[in-house]
Structures are given as C-alpha cells and as structure tokens.
Structure 1
C-alpha cells in the first residue's frame, strides 16, 4: 500500500473516531478520487479492503452508539416531562417540562 493511501485511510479513521462525519465524508471522497487516479496494484488490494472493512465496522458501531444515546436522551426527556411532585398539603402535582425534543447531535 502506498504511503499516501495509508495516510488518507488513517485520516478517515481519526475523523470517524472524533465523530466528525463531515470531515470523514470529505476524506472518503478524496480517497476515492485518489484511488481513481492511482491504479491499485493487486498486492495492495487485500490490505486496503481489510482496512476499509475495519473503517466500515467502526462507522457502523459509531452509528449504533449514537442511536442508543439519542434513545436514552429521548427517554430522559419523556420521563422529565411527567415528573410528579407533591405540594405541602401532600397533593400530587404533575409538572410537565417544555423541553424540546432534540433533533440533531
């Protein structure tokens, strides 16, 4: 594998790990253009495919973790909206919150 290809693959991995999807996508597009320009030799192909498979698994794991976090936050907000408190006379009051549901993370 060429040093430049390895550096680009490492850059994609760092962008995924840091959670910067925009940067990761830009680096993936740059790598695709580089692969179109540079012909891959057959010896490097298995190593590159293995690295790409690793990056795909990393991205999928990141997406699953992000979805779990979104679900947890949604549950927390739903529970916070239905908090029940008691006043000094012992009457139960429901105190809804006006927190907006998150749309993006």
Structure 2
C-alpha cells in the first residue's frame, strides 16, 4: 500500500538550504523522501537566491538511509521545480533515476515547448 506525506522541517545541507517542505512516498519495504533545496549567494548579506534543486533519499523499513541523489540548480522558478517534484512523487522515482528523470523533463520542456 502506498502512502504520500508532506511535512515541514527546516534543515541545512552542504551549504544549501532545504525548504521546510519535504514529501515522502512509502511502501511496505521502503520510503522515498523528496526535499526542495535552494542555494543562495553567500557573498551578499541579502543572500540572493540562486536556484532551486531537489534531493531524493531512499530509506528501508527501519528508516535507515540506503541511497540518495541530488540535482542542484534546476531553476529559479519554484513553481516549475514543484511541478518536477509532483512528477517524481507521482511516479515514485528512486534516487538512482533522479538525474535521468529531471534531465528528460528539462529537455522535453526546452526542446518541445510550444
């Protein structure tokens, strides 16, 4: 049985900030968490937003991290990155496929946009 949850939990990872929102998809044997990242320019006091990215983490049934993947600097448009998150959640994309799915989406949107 599949279960999708949305939680809020602010965190900082690798000089990037995790948006307080994270999403998870759970099955009997695993949980996949998707986190919206954003990078900022550290050289200005205003912390100018650079771009949003996505972190995907795979956990076993004991919630031990098995694998993760990050795609940084996808877009400055949060709504666009959220639409990619919706696609990832809908298809329960594992970390190993994160880069391929996001690149295919970016290529489709860039090359085949009408």
Q: TM-score range by the shorter chain?
A: under 0.3
Higher strand share goes to which structure? 2
* TM-score, normalising length: structure 2: 0.22
Higher helix share goes to which structure? 1
> Max radius of gyration: which structure?
1
* TM-score, normalising length: structure 1: 0.23
